[in-house]
Structure 1
Amino acid sequence: MFPQQLTDSRAFRIAQTLLDGFNRHYRLFREASAAAKQRFEAADWQGQQRAQRERIVYYDQRVDEAVERLQTELKAHELPMDVWQQIKLHYIGLLTNHLQPELAETFFNSVTTKILHRSYFHNDFIFVRPAISTEYIETDEPGSLPTFRAYYPTRETLRETLHRIVTNFQLQREFEDLDRDVDHVLRAVYQQFGEVRFRTNFQIQVLSSLFFRNKGAYVVGKIINGYRETALAIPILHNSKGRLYIDAALFGEDELQMLFSFARAYFMVEMEIPAAYVHFLRSLMPRKPRSEIYNALGLHKQGKNLFYRDFLFHLRHSSDRFRIAPGIKGMVMLVFDLPSFPYVFKVIKDFFPPQKDTTREQIQGKYLLVKQHDRVGRMADTLEYSNVAFPYERFEEELVQELQHYCPSLLEISDRDGDGKTELILKHVYIERRMIPLNIYLQEGTPEQIEHAVVEYGNAIKDLVAANIFPGDMLWKNFGVTRNGKVVFYDYDEIEYLTDCNFRRVPPAPNEEAELSGEVWYPVGPKDIFPETFEPFLLGNDRVREVFMRHHADLLDPGFWQGHKERILAGHVHDVFPYDAGKRFGPPHSHRKAKTERPAGEPVAT
């Protein structure tokens, strides 16, 4: 119950200190995102990757700063609960005209749960539901851009409008031939819409900031023609001579979903009002949860908050029980799911078999590496939570027994609130999008599906190679198939940077007895990899072997791996295309090949 009066003078000061901490966080977040434009113009690809890694940890740094200040200066951890009720009410008042209220509420939750040592879903003094609406937030401050620009072309001026859309972003780098590229986009628009009549309210709405990721900049918007709305994205790249060109035009929800996939790195976008960007993007991708859109924009803490709210809502409106996830059980992770919910829950075991020489801390480090790395559409994003309470009665007994056996240090079963409702509490858990394990897909697939999946598997590994990632355990069971048929890696406990590995050929056996013994006759260092030895583990099925050898035999050649390692060490950053190669514009130019197939030995993510 909230107090009738705001009587404690400390409450407002703490609320203001909390908001100051958030404002500092979002100012730094915006500065890093805004600087992506200069890095793109300068072709500073290593700087872009470094900034993306650094930005991810900004939030936790600012939370820790706020906790330290509140505890040291204001003794916040000693305050009674009625003061914390007043703090929340003051904070709500401070957010009335704030431009990022939903993010500020999440920041409040992050700080207060650290101070109060409570799980936020049991805490009366945090924002379980949003208190401030994010609808129709706008600002009239001088120098502020609107969320989107609207253009109203006629058929006669559509080409001029497309040209103006691109030039309005004022990129400080010359285009190779913008007129040519606009003609490509114009033809793509007519191919998409046909010879339709332009309705009275025909318009193109474009978000005011470019979306930067890897080596690309993306114009994102939609075309409105009468009652029809079609998502639009235009990727802008550098050619080999440092000039810009438009590489493709993407239309519709499915192609935007690929661009904003959960298996790709976060965008860098300069946003004053993030909720307005999320609302606009949701109009382009109505099937995509708001949590995933916040994640894609680099606001992963807000994404986590919204995901958890959606999860609690789903629990209230479902009755099935958590179970051990189908498939081969992992040696490092215990994986379970809820059949009606499209995600899996992963808990690090307390002990591992002898062949897994690792620790909990090392595994958590691998997952952090993936969070901070360019996932190139081939590594699933992971949400990490602490102290998650589940209703005990929703767990199958077999799963409870597995958790008690493998993860006792992370498990608590209790009635914390004294209300007679038993909870199963996990002190640390990862949550990932559920996919069909590739080994199961290959067992059950048609010949056509098997061929597609094996080709995709090899492409996934080559895309990881392009991103400086060696997956470690390359077994089929560690990859999944998405609903769009894309193969994605999701088991990270053995990944390494490619540049940290030493790829070697198996030396000849000294004699026939050594070759037939099955024992290793050559010295093996801790980071030595022998690609020739992949074959017995991966290619036991004749049908799989035939497809693999036809498309990806180079993966068994140490020269393939070592060659790409050397290129990365030399500073090369591969292009990554989050769309079909067939979408790229032709005819071919000097700076790019028109092939839609991957050249031998050249990993190009598509």
Structure 2
Amino acid sequence: TVNALNSNFPAAAENTGLWPEVKVAYISLLMNHLQAECAETFYNSVVCRVVHRDYYNNENIFWRPSISTEHLEGSSPSYRSYYPPADGLRRCLLQTVTGFGLANRFQNLRRDIRRLETALIEHRAKDWKQHPNYQIQVLGSLFFRSKAAYIVCRIINGDRTRPLVIPLLQDEERNIYVDTALLRRKDVTIVFSFSRAYFMVDMEVPSAYVTFLTSIMPGKSQVDLYAMLGLQKQAKTLFYREMLYHLSHSRDNFQIAPGVRGMVMLVFTLPSFQFVFKMIKDRFDPPKTSTREEVRQKYQLVKYHDRVGRLADTLEYSNVAISMDRIDPELLQELRDKAAGSIEEVGDNLVIKHIYIERRMEPLDQYLHQASAAKRRRAIRDFGQSIRDMVGANIFPGDMLKKNFGVTRNERVVFYDYDEICYITDCNFRKIPPARSYEDEISDTPWYSIGQNDVFPESFAPFFFTDYDDLTAFKKHHADLLDPEWWKAMKETLIAGRLIDVFPYPVKRRFSVRFGKS
């Protein structure tokens, strides 16, 4: 589209009086559009590539939506409703599970419906009673991710709305089975976490899906939900609007992020805003040897890989203008010294040519320093589990210092430093050779050769924990992460093409664990 505009209308970039008319004409085409918000985002993307940034203004692009998407529906309703008071709970659950016309057979449908019914009944509060409006509402399309398809529902009873998410999996014969029923809002929120891969969903009206999801996860923003539905461009548009709105209603300044400063990335924050801003430095601190392009490729790898709940999502922007009077002097000097190639001072604004934005988390090292003994043990255990989960997705984190991990509001450990990330299958896991002499043992340099992709798991321990009690707690659950043979076995499993299960919900919730073979 951009190339066609530049070719057929070469004066479009400079004819600024034309764009307000184009915008009005474009709005007229959106009146009955089922994805008007996405169409506006597309328009913005095109205009911002055709005209100079000096003309990114309210008249030329959509700074706010022009068309309401409330109560918008397509040719068929976005969700179906089933009524247990009339048809019985078991029949409604059967209709819920079988209403998608899946071609494959179910492994044992009667068993699965019985388990679903039991799970719903056992989850009810002690004072639960059925109201006349008791119903199960089911979104019309499945949510696909990795090896699972998710049925997304809400249960309405009286004035209460509860989530119900049903993961469907396949056995080795490709028979379908219900793996669990997620009824706790926290469990559902984790399935839709920013640290997981996007879903694939066939939607006629995305805004209707977002409205539905908001009702079962009120803590999730539209930014999060559009991103998880695979509409990341729309998520970026909404985030940028939210940031501008926040800036107009706040007075604090952007400042250097607290904690240990990065060797590759320059990180800053706006304390009143729950996100961090990351820029690639012009030059990396030793011993880092990556290039700018390699770092960008690593971030791109993470963006489109299965993040298994352990790799933070990022929003990537170009040419972001920030008012100079909102930038702390120390940060401004740091930007001039460390990232001069990525900024441009234009009048009263600082234009950042390229930036990543991530949700702010508490760094693991700081969290452990302040946590109670019980929370500390849980975080150490989850730190090891986060590494296992990444390995299961064929991801080797590279720089596994605690400062490169964060703790989410759900107290899950997530990795967010990507400049050394690579595939497990590209690594060469080795055992450290025996020292040849006492001098070798006390030497500052290794007595053995190290190839470019060599990894020595036995050397991880001091990087993980210097405190003896912390290391002991880690080894209690994850001693095999320090054994090169474990890593070799995982690599061979991945090379063989066998997918390792990493469930986005506690294993104890699985029906096979909860009910056994019943």
Secondary structure of 2:318's aligned partner: strand
Match of 1:556 among 463, 466, 482: 482
Q: Quick check: 1:121–1:128 contact (8 Å CA) kept in 2?
A: no
Secondary structure of 1:448's aligned partner: helix
1:73 and 2:12 correspond? no
**What is the Cα deviation at residue 176 of structure 1?**
1.2
Secondary structure of 2:84's aligned partner: coil
1:231 and 2:163 correspond? yes
Q: Quick check: 1:252–1:284 contact (8 Å CA) kept in 2?
A: no
1:188 and 2:188 correspond? no
- Look up the match of 2:326: 394
- Look up the match of 2:458: 532
Match of 1:88 among 23, 27, 34: 23
Task: Using structure 2 for the length normalisation, give the TM-score.
Answer: 0.97
Amino acid in structure 1 at the alignment position of 2:389: D
- Look up the match of 2:33: 98
1:568 and 2:494 correspond? yes
Secondary structure of 1:136's aligned partner: coil
1:240 and 2:172 correspond? yes
- Look up the match of 2:422: 496
Q: For each residue in 1:351-380, what CA deviation from the matched residue of structure 2 results, as whole angstroms up to 9, or x when unmatched?
A: 112310011111011000000100000000
For residues 437-476 of structure 1, what are the structure 2 equivalents within 5 Å? 437-476=363-402
- 297-306 or 346-355, which moves further after superposition? 346-355
- Look up the match of 2:82: 151
Q: For each residue in 1:300-350, what CA deviation from the matched residue of structure 2 results, as whole angstroms up to 9, or x when unmatched?
A: 000000001011111111111211111111011111111111100001111
Q: Quick check: 1:324–1:337 contact (8 Å CA) kept in 2?
A: yes
1:284 and 2:284 correspond? no
Q: Counterparts of 2:437 and 2:34 in 1: how far apart (Å)?
A: 74
Q: For each residue in 1:491-528, what CA deviation from the matched residue of structure 2 results, as whole angstroms up to 9, or x when unmatched?
A: 00000011111101111122232222232121111011
Q: Counterparts of 1:221 and 1:442 in 2: how far apart (Å)?
A: 37
Amino acid in structure 1 at the alignment position of 2:454: D
Q: For each residue in 1:131-178, what CA deviation from the matched residue of structure 2 results, as whole angstroms up to 9, or x when unmatched?
A: 1111122233xxxx3200011122861101101111111111111111
Amino acid in structure 1 at the alignment position of 2:478: H
Q: Counterparts of 2:10 and 2:325 in 1: how far apart (Å)?
A: 39
For residues 308-347 of structure 1, what are the structure 2 equivalents within 5 Å? 308-347=240-279
Task: Using structure 1 for the length normalisation, give the TM-score.
Answer: 0.83
Q: Quick check: 2:48–2:56 contact (8 Å CA) kept in 1?
A: no
Secondary structure of 2:12's aligned partner: helix
For residues 94-493 of structure 1, what are the structure 2 equivalents within 5 Å? 94-118=29-53, 121-122=56-57, 124-140=59-75, 145-154=76-85, 157-194=88-125, 196-415=128-347, 422-493=348-419
Q: Quick check: 1:504–1:528 contact (8 Å CA) kept in 2?
A: yes
**What is the Cα deviation at residue 197 of structure 1?**
2.5
Secondary structure of 2:511's aligned partner: coil
Secondary structure of 1:370's aligned partner: helix
- Look up the match of 1:24: none
Q: Quick check: 1:113–1:119 contact (8 Å CA) kept in 2?
A: no
Q: Counterparts of 1:111 and 1:119 in 2: how far apart (Å)?
A: 15
Q: Counterparts of 2:52 and 2:323 in 1: how far apart (Å)?
A: 20
Q: Counterparts of 1:333 and 1:186 in 2: how far apart (Å)?
A: 50
Q: Counterparts of 2:222 and 2:13 in 1: how far apart (Å)?
A: 36
Q: Quick check: 2:13–2:52 contact (8 Å CA) kept in 1?
A: no
Q: Counterparts of 1:484 and 1:474 in 2: how far apart (Å)?
A: 21
Q: 1:589 to 1:150 in 2, by over 3 A?
A: closer
Q: 1:566 to 1:590 in 2, by over 3 A?
A: farther
Q: For each residue in 1:370-408, what CA deviation from the matched residue of structure 2 results, as whole angstroms up to 9, or x when unmatched?
A: 001000000000000111111211222111111111111
**What is the Cα deviation at residue 229 of structure 1?**
0.8
**What is the Cα deviation at residue 231 of structure 1?**
1.1
Q: Quick check: 2:424–2:491 contact (8 Å CA) kept in 1?
A: yes
Q: Counterparts of 1:434 and 1:187 in 2: how far apart (Å)?
A: 39
Q: Counterparts of 1:139 and 1:585 in 2: how far apart (Å)?
A: 35
Q: Counterparts of 2:55 and 2:249 in 1: how far apart (Å)?
A: 21
**Structure 2: gaps spanning 5 or more residues:** none
Q: Counterparts of 2:349 and 2:203 in 1: how far apart (Å)?
A: 40
Secondary structure of 1:250's aligned partner: coil
Amino acid in structure 2 at the alignment position of 1:472: G
**What is the Cα deviation at residue 588 of structure 1?**
6.8
Q: Counterparts of 1:406 and 1:198 in 2: how far apart (Å)?
A: 63
**What is the Cα deviation at residue 464 of structure 1?**
0.3
Percentage of identical aligned residues: 50
Q: Quick check: 2:16–2:55 contact (8 Å CA) kept in 1?
A: no
Q: Quick check: 2:133–2:156 contact (8 Å CA) kept in 1?
A: yes
Deviating runs (4+, > 6 A) in structure 1?
Answer: 588-591
Q: For each residue in 1:418-458, what CA deviation from the matched residue of structure 2 results, as whole angstroms up to 9, or x when unmatched?
A: xxxx2222111110000000011111111111111110000
Q: Quick check: 1:346–1:430 contact (8 Å CA) kept in 2?
A: yes
Q: Quick check: 1:215–1:576 contact (8 Å CA) kept in 2?
A: no
- Look up the match of 1:52: none
Q: Quick check: 1:263–1:488 contact (8 Å CA) kept in 2?
A: yes
Q: Quick check: 2:12–2:18 contact (8 Å CA) kept in 1?
A: no
Q: 1:432 to 1:366 in 2, by over 3 A?
A: same
Q: For each residue in 1:219-242, what CA deviation from the matched residue of structure 2 results, as whole angstroms up to 9, or x when unmatched?
A: 001000111110110111112343
Q: Counterparts of 1:536 and 1:137 in 2: how far apart (Å)?
A: 56
For residues 589-600 of structure 1, what are the structure 2 equivalents within 5 Å? none
Amino acid in structure 1 at the alignment position of 2:488: Q
